Chains A and B, each alone.
Chain A
Amino acid sequence: MTQDHNDNSTELDDELDRKALENARDVVKKRFPEMVKGYLEDADKYIEKIRQGVLDNDAQEIAQNAHPLKSASFGLGVNRVASIAKDIEQRAKDAIEQQADIDDLQELLAGLENALARVRPRLENELPND
């Protein structure tokens, strides 16, 4: 998860794919603000459950919550969150398949929380002021 923090433009593109976001806006039209709010609420909920799953070494719980976070994030163009969620889901699924303890996910989880924290204000900027 190392990133060249001097390369700000690349980093921002990786965080939020505007084309995908505009595509989503085009699909849902007036419900776009509701969808963005819903995404952020769900993302918090999924990350909380992943965090709990890591504490409990519960790979099933981790995979079940990383999976929808991954697909919803890809749908809205929140690509870094999607990419980390995908890695977490894969690690959890590997652990389930091998009936093994899940590898240390603390670093990925911290990256996930950080990625969401960085993109949140950009998504909130898409909401109307009320």
Chain B
Amino acid sequence: MSDILVVENDKTHRIVIEQIITDLGWNVHSVDNGQSALNEISKNPSQYALVIMDWEMPGLDGLATVRQLRNQQMEYGWPYIPVIAFTGNNSPGDKEKCREAGMDDYLSKEIFQPLVKRYYLTDKITYWLDVATKKKKEQ
């Protein structure tokens, strides 16, 4: 079974997202910085069905990490993994910055609080897992 990789250096958000993924019935593995995420994926590029990545992290931030990941996937022929930005940034143009860097989707950290928005988060994760599963079958 594929796993979901969470890249998040803030413990509060990491625990919330881990629990939501666990509740969906998926295995979750977490790292707290971009370089560790790249190392983790390079060990077994087909292990992860989805990556949920913080944008603002010390060192390699989320945008730089996903750029490197996309380059490595091209260079080494690794399977494509959808990456969702998980961020507190919500200024105009932020979604576009995420997409330009190679993120597939954008998830605001503010959404986990009210119940209705938490369902939105769950829906989004479920959607991308579905996309990843279909892509895997095609490969």
Contacts and interface: CB of A to CB of B under 8 A. Distances in A.
Contacts of A23: 113-115
Interface stretch (A5-13, A28-36, A113-121): A28-36
Contacts of B113: 20, 23-24, 74-75
A80 interface: no
A67 B16 contact: no
Chain A interface size, under 10 / 10 to 19 / 20 to 34 / 35 or more = 20 to 34
A50 B16 CA distance: 25
A29 B19 CA distance: 8
Contact of A72 (B12, B18, B19, B20): B12
A64 B10 CA distance: 12
Q: Is the interface of B mostly helix, strand, loop or mixed?
A: helix
Contacts of B112: 27, 75
Nearest to B8: A68
A38 interface: yes
Q: Is the interface of A mostly helix, strand, loop or mixed?
A: helix
Contacts, number: 62
Contacts of A27: 16, 19-20, 112, 118
B34 to A, nearest CB: 14
A83 interface: no
A35 B11 contact: yes
B13 A75 contact: yes
B12 A38 contact: yes
Contacts of A42: 10-12
B11 A41 contact: yes
A24 B16 contact: yes
A16 interface: no
Nearest to A77: B113
B15 A31 contact: yes
Interface of A: 20, 23-24, 27-29, 31, 34-35, 38-39, 41-42, 64, 67-68, 70-72, 74-76
Interface of B: 9-16, 18-20, 56, 58, 88-89, 109-110, 112-115, 118
